[in-house]
Amino acid sequence: MRVFIAIQLSTDVRAKLKEALGRLRETGADVRCVKPENAHLTLRFLGKITESDVEKIKKAMEKALQGICVFKVSFGGAGAFPGTGTPRVVWTSAREGEEKLCGVRDLLEETLSQVNIEKENREYHPHLTLARVKSHRAGDKLASWIESNNNLDLGSMKVSRVTLMESKLTKDGPEYRTIAAVSLRSELKGEQ
């Protein structure tokens, strides 16, 4: 199975994302927008694993997250990887909570390496993928949309759990299924 570790989005963030994607489609750019119901913030893509690896990955996640309390994250702005000149991916970034997300990602990297999952060497940039660029048709309109959405605001949400997700590639795009979830500690003392 093909898996990744992610944070699922709140209903409110998904609704604002859906509106933003509608405006992006209106540009006529040749992009394949994410389905709002599938949107998530990836903490770590793991790739192919076996069914027997699931339990050790879940235990590594529990170890990494045991001291982490519920925290707030907000999403906004627009950008592209590798850049707006020849974009391949259009994204919005995590703003409030970015440092916390990077810290969680680092903890996950450390505990996953203890169960023989090789560390990822590239720098982590917490973001939500909005669309993948299929061709550069109407690229000027896409670049203009990205620039004019520098102040895009998708709102904020509380992060209360981290999930291990399976991704199945189909002709209609990826389908996701939650395999395991680890809840973060409550903000209130004594609550779990």
DSSP string, 118-138: PPP-SPP--EEEEEEE---TT
Query: H/E/C letters for each residue in 157-187?
Result: EEECEEEEEEEEEECCEEEEEEEEEEECECC
Tens digit of pLDDT for each residue in 75-107? 999 999 988 788 999 999 999 999 999 999 999
Domains detected in the chain: 2-183 (3.90.1140.10)
What global pTM score does this model have?
Answer: 0.90
The set of catalytic residues is 40, 127
- Digit-coded pLDDT (tens) for 69-80: 999 999 999 999
